[in-house]
């Protein structure tokens, strides 16, 4: 008999059905037992009257079940399965689970849950997080494809740092010092110049930042895009604004069940405010007596500003624009109207930066001068600079941290909850 998923059972009332799944719960009585079956689609209450078989069942064993559905208004789904036959496919060989997973919530620290990740992920609410994450990547891909972008896949082992600084992982590549890519930045710019014009990538990025906080990872998934023939950075913010709207609308339909399981209501998105960094710093000082670091806003400032934006603009999002050149990578386009500033931006969502982007330098001589000014040697960047010798158009791009935007959409407390198997300062297992 062909397997049926629990979510598809209702039309098969009073007919024999075949199910596969795990034993989620057992409640034994004198002459029968309630057995809860779990598969990827849901939970089902079943009745088992064979005491001999019951004695061999343990929580989390994987089983094959055949039975008949019968109505029961008191059952969670309004019906239950009367078991005719049950066989164990995979034994549960343990004394106790690391923690119970069949309660309303897991009574264990996040660290312990991550130590036993495949156990915690057996809960539907945990897997719902990654259903939402799947749909975020899907709408990112579909939206940009609809806008004429081409998906690319760039190297993650590279011969030169893309962002500068010291936060890189180094590798011995057959005797040559190489690095894990902090981003696909150089390559996506090169592909704009190669004729693709508009490219995007969904891929891993690596940052050797020595932080262990609720918002940092050392390996994460970056949603990157780069587009040519732009007027300025406003084109990029317009594109991302449309992307965020499409993302939320898509999640409401494609991930509606997951959002319901998680108890999440997504925000509405109108016009996202655009505030120059210098003005944001003034607001923080005037309203909150909060001093900001030079050329930036710290985590506390981001949260205070987000509260102000929500009150003044009724927006959970805000673009911070016009960052100083000293705080941006060497390829960032200077703003010719504001000395020392750049045509770059961050997108802040409920007090957390989820995007960095901006217009890039497209002139060969200007980019070469910027490399020299940063202390670099143009000959080390020859593979990158070649594209700029042959008519590189005005272009720019941005990157969204997948785990960060997932965390913020779902109101999670820690970015590692939105990471399938995290890599952070202290974790290399599982």
Residue 328 near residue 342 (C-beta atoms within 8 A): yes
36 pairs with which residues across the strands? Answer: 25, 45
Whether residue 224 contacts residue 188, with contact meaning beta carbons closer than 8 Å, is answered with: yes
Predicted pLDDT at 10: 80
Residues 6+ apart with CB under 8 A from 322: 276, 277, 278, 335, 338, 341, 342, 343, 344, 345
β-bridge mates for residue 42, sequence order: 39
In this predicted structure, what is the pLDDT of residue 55? 78
What token pair was written down for 153? Answer: 């896949």
Contact status, residue 181 vs residue 156, Cβ threshold 8 Å: yes
Name residues whose C-beta falls within 8 Å of residue 103's C-beta, 6 or more positions apart in sequence.
none
Query: Out of 1.10.1740.10, 2.60.40.350, 3.90.1170.40, 2.40.50.140, which CATH number does the structure's domain 6-96 have?
Result: 2.40.50.140
Give the integer Cα–Cα distance in Å for 56 and 35: 13
Q: Which residues contact 64 (CB under 8 A, 6 or more apart)?
A: 18, 19, 20, 86, 87, 89
Q: Which residues contact 104 (CB under 8 A, 6 or more apart)?
A: none
| Nearest Cα to Cα of residue 188 among 142, 161, 152 | 152
Local confidence pLDDT in tens for the 430 residues of the chain: 799 999 999 877 778 999 999 999 999 888 889 999 999 999 999 999 877 777 788 999 999 999 999 988 998 889 999 999 999 999 998 878 999 999 999 999 999 999 999 999 999 999 999 999 999 999 999 999 999 999 999 999 998 876 665 689 999 999 999 999 999 999 999 999 999 999 999 999 999 988 889 999 999 999 999 999 999 999 999 999 999 999 999 999 999 999 999 999 999 999 999 999 999 999 999 999 999 999 999 999 999 999 999 999 999 999 999 999 999 999 999 999 999 999 999 999 999 999 999 999 999 999 999 999 999 999 999 999 999 999 999 999 999 999 999 999 999 999 999 999 999 998 999 9
CB 151 within 8 A of CB 184: no
Q: State the architecture of 124-418 in CATH terms.
A: 2-Layer Sandwich (3.30)
Query: What are residue 426's DSSP bridge partners?
Result: none
201-239 pLDDT, tens digit per residue, is 999 999 998 888 999 999 999 999 999 999 999 999 999
Per DSSP, what are the bridge partners of residue 318? 348
What integer pLDDT is reported at residue 15 of this predicted model?
81
pLDDT for res 422? 97
Q: What is the dihedral of CA 279, 281, 285, 291, to 10 degrees?
A: -160
Residue ranges of domains in the chain: 6-96, 124-418
Measured at the CA of 34, the angle between CA 30 and CA 39, to 5 degrees, comes to 155
pLDDT of res. 203: 97
Neighbours of 148 (CB within 10 A): 10
């Amino acid at each position: 008999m062909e397997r049926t998923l629990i979510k598809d059972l209702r039309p098969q009332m009073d007919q024999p059905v075949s199910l596969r799944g795990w034993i989620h719960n057992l409640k034994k009585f004198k002459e029968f037992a309630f057995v809860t079956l779990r598969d990827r689609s849901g939970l089902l209450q079943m009745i088992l009257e064979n005491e001999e078989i019951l004695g061999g069942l343990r929580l989390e064993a994987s089983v094959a079940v055949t039975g008949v559905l019968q109505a029961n208004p008191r059952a969670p789904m309004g019906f239950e399965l009367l078991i005719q036959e049950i066989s164990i496919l995979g034994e549960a060989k343990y004394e106790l689970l690391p923690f119970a997973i069949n309660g309303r919530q897991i009574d264990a620290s996040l660290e312990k849950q991550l130590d036993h990740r495949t156990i915690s992920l057996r809960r539907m609410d945990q897997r719902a997080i990654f259903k939402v994450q799947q749909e975020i990547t899907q709408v990112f891909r579909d939206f940009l494809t609809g806008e004429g972008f081409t998906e690319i896949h760039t190297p993650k082992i590279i011969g030169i740092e893309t962002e500068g600084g010291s936060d890189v992982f180094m590798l011995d590549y057959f005797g040559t010092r190489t690095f894990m890519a902090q981003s696909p930045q150089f390559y996506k710019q090169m592909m704009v110049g190669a004729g693709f014009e508009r490219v995007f990538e969904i891929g891993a990025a690596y940052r050797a930042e020595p932080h262990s906080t609720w918002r940092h990872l050392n390996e994460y998934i970056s949603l990157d895009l780069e587009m040519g023939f732009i007027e300025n950075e406003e084109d990029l913010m317009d594109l991302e604004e449309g992307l965020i709207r499409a993302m939320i609308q898509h999640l409401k339909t494609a991930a509606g069940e997951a959002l319901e399981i998680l108890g999440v209501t997504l925000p509405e998105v109108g016009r996202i405010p655009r505030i120059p960094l210098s003005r944001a710093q003034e607001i923080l000082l005037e309203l909150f007596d909060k001093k900001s670091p030079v050329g930036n806003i710290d985590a506390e400032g981001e949260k205070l500003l987000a509260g102000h934006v929500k009150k003044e603009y009724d927006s959970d999002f805000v673009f911070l624009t016009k960052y100083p050149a000293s705080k941006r990578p060497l390829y960032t386009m200077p703003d010719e109207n504001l000395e020392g500033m750049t045509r770059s931006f961050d997108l802040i969502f409920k007090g957390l930066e989820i995007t960095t982007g901006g217009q890039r330098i497209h002139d060969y001589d200007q980019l070469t001068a910027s490399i020299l000014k940063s202390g670099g040697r143009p000959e080390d960047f020859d593979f990158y600079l070649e594209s700029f010798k042959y008519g590189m158009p005005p272009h720019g791009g941005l990157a969204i941290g997948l785990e960060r935007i997932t965390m913020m959409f779902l109101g999670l407390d820690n970015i590692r909850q939105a990471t399938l198997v995290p890599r952070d300062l202290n974790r290399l297992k599982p």
